[in-house]
Chain A
Amino acid sequence: MWQYLVKRLVSLIPLLLVVSFIVFMFIHIIPGDPARLLAGKEATAEEVEMARVSLGLDKPLYEQYFIYLKDLLTGNMGYSVKSGAPVSQLIGDRIMPTLGLTFLSIIWALVVGILIGVVSAVFRNKWPDHLGMFTAVSGISLPNFWVGLVLIQLFSVQLGMFPTGGAEGWSSYIMPSFALGAGIMAMIARFTRSSLVESMKQDYIRMGRAKGLGSRQIIFGHALKNSLIPVVTVAGLQFGFLLGGSVVVETVFSFPGLGTLLIDSIQFRDYPVVQAEILLFACQFIVVNMIIDVVYSYLNPKIRYE
């Protein structure tokens, strides 16, 4: 297991290099003079030249890349054009709320999704199943911003249970994280159901019954772990896109996270910030995939031993 982990981590290095190179090239690929882009819309000709030298843009490309890498490793991601503040600081202020939000929505999606799936499978073709699958289909087909708006209307405006937006206190996380996770939750519910129904037909289930195991042991001790293998694969892909989804949901809830920061930065053409965010999104995708792989290998011993 540890060996596998280390192997996976080492295999990430080239991937991270490629990603960082693409992100580095971002500023050079956008049409226009990078120095002008980085100096800002209102900069004078001298300011642009100063920016060119101070940012090292007069140096050869490969050297620039190494400087960029070195800066990255020391946590230096440049300065915001808009406010002049270090990008790392801007990101640092916003990263925790967004991580909290995505983490919470993953928990929602997994716990509630698997629960609905199991209940539906156990009560196959009875009313809990129909209810569960109706919820799931709704969750998949409704866009998350709409779910967000409905939640705000219902629980904030009508019932006054949760704040309409912001990130003050845990209660302001509940609705956005639910809106963000609803689609994945629904998908997990459906996959868990069909996968569990399939597992219950396998020979080892009948064997388990012949051993004298009760239904609870059969479902939770034997069938579920097998059923989760395909679920993890599907859910993992979805989790990778969560930060993207958070852009929309954060906007709906005026949530002070990376998503709203990204929107602001794009509107202001604050390229250093946009660049840093892209890097973060890519890294998040990679990290999530890595975690999924580890979970997958935990569930499926055949993978672990290859």
Chain B
Amino acid sequence: MSDLLQVKNLKTGFQTENGFLPVVHGISFHVNQGEIVGLVGESGSGKSVTSLSIMRLFHDTRGKIADGEILYKGENLLTFPEKKMTKYRGKELSMIFQEPMTALNPVLTIGKQMRETIMLHLGMSKKEAHQYAIEKLKLVGIPRAEQVMEDYPHQLSGGMRQRVIIAMQISCNPSLLIADEPTTALDVTIQAQILKLMEEIQEKTNMGILLITHDLGVVAEICDRVIVMYAGRIVEEASAVDLFENPKHPYTKGLMESAPKIGSKKDRLNSITGTVPNPNNMPKGCKFAPRCPVAMPICHEKEPELMADGNHSARCWLLDEEVKKKEEMLNA
């Protein structure tokens, strides 16, 4: 099956006083139709910047896509004039944000915010859009949907709001849904419900989902394939099964050891010491080397390439046969 989304060598960063500061360093990946792909990494690794790049949502910020291609059904979104991109947002590709509490406009009713998109993209009248919106709200499991249409966001709980947002963002049947930590801000029990809902919707609509999370438990639960990101780079990519059975990158292993069971609110990645390096002050070699328990001298000198073994690839010197041999000789 052809790729629904193909990101090629994407470089994104921010305009600062000291010039352009890259945050995403030439990453490439794809999402197929009907597939849920997890994008995992610690806070600050560039997951949100990646998803905003795909949607081209850098209005009113200093964010800028410097290089690369984002092919959606074969068309490079980065060459679209803003007007055409506007038509695609919400209709072809859609996005759910981390913060359901602030993502809805507080002064407009849910109904107004639901209808708006539907009327815009599906060309329905207000009345038709209203009925259609109610159906969508019911689809995401909102009780008293007619009533909720008249409500304002502050009258709903966080979980309800996230459901509303999901309903809103899938209402025009997009082929690709980007969900940026859709459950992080929610209660444990609600988290599981929302994930289940997304899985159900995916099965019904066969859309592709790029699910961003820092929670490997979530990945294990619903993802088909996983991309692990660190400091703006992809460090490992594999099917979910492969990744959990045979993690190759020390960072991924670290994530797994520290992964909380799904739902638990425990401190995130507590077994990896240190933090993601600041984009202003990146280490020279492998960006993970300063925190890596098995780092070798070469790791501090030279950054490894992404090395593929079938459909499983990782960016680590340990996978390089020659480096490995040398290391073994030294140790022997």
Interface residues of A (CB under 8 A from B): 200-214, 217, 221-222, 225-226, 229, 299-302, 305
Contact = CB atoms under 8 A, between A and B. Distances in A.
B168 A301 contact: no
B152 A208 contact: no
A69 B95 CA distance: 64
12 contacts: A202-B102, A204-B102, A206-B103, A207-B104, A211-B89, A211-B120, A212-B87, A212-B89, A213-B90, A222-B105, A225-B108, A305-B152
A204 B103 contact: yes
B330 interface: no
Nearest to B52: A206
A51 to B, nearest CB: 57
Interface stretch (B14-22, B54-62, B235-243, B309-317): B54-62
Contacts of B57: 206, 209-210
Contacts of A209: 57, 59, 86, 89
B97 A212 contact: no
Interface of A, secondary structure class, is helix
Contacts of A200: 60
Contacts of B95: 210
B92 to A, nearest CB: 9
B165 interface: yes
Q: Which of A207, A214, A302 has the most CB of B within 10 A?
A: A207
A176 B127 CA distance: 47
Given A209-B59, A211-B116, A211-B169, A301 B105 contact: no
Given A200-B60, A213-B120, A208 B105 contact: yes
Contacts of B169: 210-211
Nearest to B112: A221
B117 interface: yes
Contacts of A202: 102
B107 interface: yes
A202 B104 CA distance: 10
Contact of A301 (B59, B88, B107, B121): B107
A300 B107 CA distance: 6
A221 B106 CA distance: 12
Nearest to A207: B103
Interface string B79-99: 000010011111100110101
B163 to A, nearest CB: 15
Contacts of A302: 106, 152, 154
A207 B152 CA distance: 16
B86 A203 contact: no
Contacts of A300: 107
A304 to B, nearest CB: 9
B106 A301 contact: yes
B132 to A, nearest CB: 15
Q: Which of A200, A204, A206, A211 has the most CB of B within 10 A?
A: A211
B155 interface: yes
B152 A213 contact: no
Q: What 7 A-B pairs come out closest when comparing CB atoms?
A: A212-B90, A203-B102, A212-B89, A211-B90, A301-B152, A204-B105, A210-B95
B154 A301 contact: yes
B105 A212 contact: no
A204 B108 CA distance: 11
Contacts of A217: 116
Nearest to B59: A209
A210 B89 CA distance: 5
Given A202-B102, A210-B169, A212-B121, A299 B107 contact: yes
Contact of A212 (B86, B99, B104, B154): B86
Given A211-B169, A212-B86, A214-B86, A226 B116 contact: no
